[in-house]
Amino acid sequence: MNIIALVKQTPDTAQLSASMDGLRLSAEGGPRIVNPWDEYTLETAIQAREEHGGKVTALCLGPPEAADALKTALAMGVDEAILVSDPAMADSDSLTSARILVAAIRKIGRFDLIVGGRAAIDGNTAATAVQVAALLGVPLISYVADIGSLDPEHRTISAVRLLEKARETVTSRLPALITVVKEINEPRYPSLIGIRKAARASIPVWGCNDLELDASTVGAGASGVDWKTELPTTREANVEMIDGGPEDAARTLVDRLMEEKVI
Amino acid sequence: MASNLFVWIEQEDGQADAVAWQAMAAARNIAGDLGGSLNAVVFGDGVGDVARQAVQVGADRVYVSDDPSLGRYRVEPYAKLLSRILETEPPSLILMGASTAGLELSAYVSALTGAGLAPDCTDLRVEGGQLVAVRPALVGNLVSTVTFKGTGHRFLSVRRNIFQPADPDESRTGEVIEVAAVLAEDEIPTRVESVETSDGAVSLTEANIIVSGGRGVGGPEGFQPVRELADALGGALGASRAAVDAGWIPYAHQVGQTGKTVQPDLYIACGISGAIQHLAGMKNARVIVAINKDADVPLYQYAHYGIAGDLFSYLPAIAEEVKKRLGR
Ligand SMILES: Cc1cc2nc3c(=O)[nH]c(=O)nc-3n(C[C@H](O)[C@H](O)[C@H](O)COP(=O)(O)OP(=O)(O)OC[C@H]3O[C@@H](n4cnc5c(N)ncnc54)[C@H](O)[C@@H]3O)c2cc1C
Ligand SMILES: Nc1ncnc2c1ncn2[C@@H]1O[C@H](COP(=O)(O)O)[C@@H](O)[C@H]1O
């Protein structure tokens, strides 16, 4: 099976602290990790290869330092990694990113399964992988919590989708694109051998020229939306501490909640 | 330039999802400033009532496609149908609820139509004729202000429980336009083999009241008083990741960065410290109550009411008081 794993690099929100707010964290040079949701992407892709043979290619669009995320992917066990990076691609919105990823997927060539994550924690659009499926015209199964069966021979997949109010079992033909949720597996840690191998691996970098994309069709200029980010307004702490024993405090609290009309 | 608005009314078994009426309300708020008509789009199998309700909450026109192949939401037939409807429309603004289906459908159709997309918005306004959408980014640690460029369609979805739905006006009338499905069943690549609906428990993302337990509950049995208060309030049961990771409660209950984002009217956190990743999922609740034996935890920065004490003595007393006062 030829499997492509879509992996984004994102800021490492575990580093948030009093001195490291969202803006500092996101700024150039800030601490980066594999998008936490894409650890499940990678684990899903690697397990599928372990079961059915073939090859996993991790594909990441991002700045040059996003190669680090691909090193992690290689250390976890993907066979190949490709970084799509070009200064012209900076600040692409999700649809423009999807177009670029589709151009890279076409260059990779044959695939049976593409795996993406539910969302990336930075932009949190939950859109890019969905848009890749739409542009490629391959069947999409999103929010996958369990792969019931994957049958490369009969070219079918059956998967359980985790929705707000239900678990839905869906079948589709292959090739298909699936997005996965946390429930699907427990991502492995990179092995020592993996880390050593990844350190030596060279990761090809594809830019606009390699993908035959005109620079005017990518990046902020080609995007359908513009955005500015700022810190959320923090509200002054104004907690009312309710004193007294359980019965008194319960009475006061219920009074307050009724005044607030929330119960 | 005037812009027409379209709202996708998500439904299941002929029952609209509450978030659809919230999206309708969001559209109605800005329709005047954008100067276009307000339309609803209803797909399904037996959705006449939903179409009528859409008129009652403000739609001038409802595009209805009633077909067995549309009975349960699937992205391909819904997306192709929606983009077919939009094909002949002047550049419009298309809104929906940011549910699992709405996030997916809006992204998919935006790709089919080459349109800009602003998912999961928490505020919408019109400034100088320009639509401005506000959405949280980096799990609530940034706020992003989005504007649309170009002249094509624009898509956006709105987060649950932000916009107040309008009361239906039964005397309102509107035009119903019937549309045929675009894909025949054998052209749809996916099949739904079975659906297992979650038990009667109130779904976290839709709950108006959530009572959550954290590491402070001490074990699986520790959730009992938390559950009892949730039941007394008619609310849903939430949890911190620490409690989920410990195996005390299933992941479906987790609130926070790697769990669910919720925005209830009331959030009661019991034995939860208020780590940034937990706050990311609940800090926008209207009223937050923290019950913690430590009088100095980060959650008090966001809480409106705090009780510094042992949850095991306070929760039963609160549940009792609630039952007494609400007559439950
Ligand atoms: C990438 C990443 C993603 C994460 N995602 C999430 C997420 O989605 N959701 C989430 O919740 N966390 C998440 N976390 C974990 C988060 O950082 C915290 O570890 C977690 O929220 C802590 O849970 P807690 O408040 O229950 O536990 P603690 O921080 O241990 O707090 C327990 C509290 O209970 C109090 N307590 C103890 N006994 C009692 C008692 N008898 N009565 C009253 N109070 C008592 C204590 O004083 C303490 O304040 C994430 C972390 C990372 C790194
Ligand atoms: N720059 C990117 N490179 C590779 N994959 C991406 C990129 N952006 C998004 N994805 C994929 O799309 C999913 C959803 O991301 P998003 O739409 O950004 O929330 C991620 O989990 C990835 O699988």
Instruction: Please write the tens of the pLDDT for every residue from B193-223.
Output: 999 986 545 578 889 999 999 999 999 999 9
Instruction: Please write the tens of the pLDDT for every residue from B240-285.
Output: 999 999 999 998 899 998 889 899 999 999 999 999 889 989 998 9
Overall average pLDDT of the B311-319 stretch: 97
Lowest mean pLDDT among A190-204, A226-240, A248-262, B19-33: A226-240
Q: Do B234 and B311 reside in the same domain of the chain? A: yes
Residue B7 has pLDDT above 70, yes or no: yes
Q: Do B174 and B250 reside in the same domain of the chain? A: no
The pLDDT of residue B199: 56
- The CA dihedral of B247, B250, B256, B261, to the nearest 10 degrees, is 180
Q: Is residue B193 part of a domain?
A: no
Q: Is residue B197 part of a domain?
A: no
Overall average pLDDT of the A159-184 stretch: 95
**Is the pLDDT higher at A9 or at B202?**
A9
The pLDDT of residue B177: 97
Distance, first Cα to last Cα, chain A:
55
Lowest mean pLDDT among A156-160, B16-20, B60-64, B259-263: B259-263
Residue A141 has pLDDT above 60, yes or no: yes
Q: Taking all residues of chain B, what is their mean pLDDT, rounded to a whole number? A: 94
Residues A8 and A63: their CA atoms lie apart, in Å, by 10
Atom of ligand 1 at shortest range from CA of B242: 23
Overall average pLDDT of the B11-25 stretch: 96
Q: CB–CB of A55/A5 below 8 Å? A: no
Which positions ≥6 away from A89 have C-beta within 8 Å? A61, A100, A207, A208, A218, A219
With pLDDT > 90 as the criterion, what percentage of chain B qualifies? 85
Diameter of chain B measured on Cα atoms: 64
- From ligand 1's centre to the CA of A69, what distance in Å? 28
Q: Which-ligand-closest: CA of A16?
A: 1
Q: Do B33 and B171 reside in the same domain of the chain? A: yes
Q: Do B240 and B153 reside in the same domain of the chain? A: no
- The count of domains in chain B is 2
Residues B216 and A30: their CA atoms lie apart, in Å, by 33
Residue B122 has pLDDT above 70, yes or no: yes
Q: CB–CB of B247/B277 below 8 Å? A: no
User: DSSP letter at B170?
Assistant: T
Of B187, B221, B252, the domain-final residue:
B187
With pLDDT > 70 as the criterion, what percentage of chain B qualifies? 98
Chain B residues 69-128 with a CB less than 8 Å from chain A: 75-76, 79, 99-101, 103-104, 106-112, 114-120
H-run or E-run covering B64: strand B61-66
Do β-strands B130-137 and B38-44 pair in parallel, antiparallel, or remain unpaired?
Answer: unpaired
Instruction: Please write the tens of the pLDDT for every residue from B55-83.
Output: 999 999 999 999 999 999 999 999 999 99
Q: Which of A16, A23, A141 shows the shortest C-beta gap to B276?
A: A16
Q: Is ligand 1 within 6 A of the CB of residue B268?
A: no
Q: Do B235 and B147 reside in the same domain of the chain? A: no
Q: Is residue B90 part of a domain?
A: yes
With pLDDT > 70 as the criterion, what percentage of chain A qualifies? 99
Residue B318: which domain range?
209-326
**Is the pLDDT higher at A234 or at B223?**
B223
Overall average pLDDT of the A150-177 stretch: 96
The pLDDT of residue B205: 85
Q: Is residue B200 part of a domain?
A: no
B309 and A CB contact within 8 Å: yes
The pLDDT of residue B140: 85
CATH number at residue B279: 3.40.50.1220
Q: Is residue B203 part of a domain?
A: no
**Nearest chain B Cα distance for residue A49, angstroms:** 23
* CB-CB neighbors (< 8 A) of B309 in chain A: 246, 249
**Any idea which residue has 């624009």 for tokens?**
B154
Instruction: Please write the tens of the pLDDT for every residue from A39-59.
Output: 999 999 999 999 999 999 999
Work out the pLDDT band at B1, boundaries 50, 70, 90: low
Residue A194 has pLDDT above 80, yes or no: yes
Residue A234 has pLDDT above 90, yes or no: no
Does the distance separating the beta carbons of B206 and A142 come in below 8 Å? no
Q: Do B149 and B29 reside in the same domain of the chain? A: yes
**Nearest chain B Cα distance for residue A194, angstroms:** 27
Overall average pLDDT of the B92-120 stretch: 97
Residue A168 has pLDDT above 60, yes or no: yes
Lowest mean pLDDT among A105-114, A209-218, B179-188, B279-288: B279-288
Q: Is the ipTM of this complex over 0.90?
A: no
Backbone φ and ψ of B205, nearest 5°: -70, -20
Q: Is residue B284 part of a domain?
A: yes
The residues spanned by each domain of chain A are 2-222
Domain A2-222 class?
alpha beta
Q: Is residue B35 part of a domain?
A: yes
The pLDDT of residue B161: 83
Does the distance separating the beta carbons of A130 and B104 come in below 8 Å? yes
Q: Suggest the residue from B257, B305, B323, B326 to mutate for an interface test with chain A (most A CBs closer than 10 A).
A: B305
Of B187, B220, B243, the domain-final residue:
B187
Q: Do B224 and B146 reside in the same domain of the chain? A: no
**Nearest chain A Cα distance for residue B54, angstroms:** 22
CATH number at residue B50: 3.40.50.620
Q: Do B232 and B166 reside in the same domain of the chain? A: no
Which positions ≥6 away from B228 have C-beta within 8 Å? B315, B316, B319
Per DSSP, helices labelled H in chain B are 18-34, 48-56, 75-87, 100-113, 223-233, 241-245, 276-282, 311-326
Q: Could you write out the DSSP letters of every residue in A198-214?
A: HHH----EE-TTTTT--
Residue B54 has pLDDT above 80, yes or no: yes
- Taking CA–CA distances from A231, the nearest residue in chain B reads B142
The pLDDT of residue A9: 98
Conformational region of residue A91, where left means phi above 0, alpha means psi within -120 to 50, and beta covers everything else: left
Q: Do B107 and B29 reside in the same domain of the chain? A: yes
The pLDDT of residue B200: 46
B18 and A CB contact within 8 Å: no
Q: Is ligand 2 within 6 A of the CB of residue A124?
A: yes
Overall average pLDDT of the A56-73 stretch: 98
Q: Which pTM value belongs to this model?
A: 0.87
Q: Taking all residues of chain A, what is their mean pLDDT, rounded to a whole number? A: 96
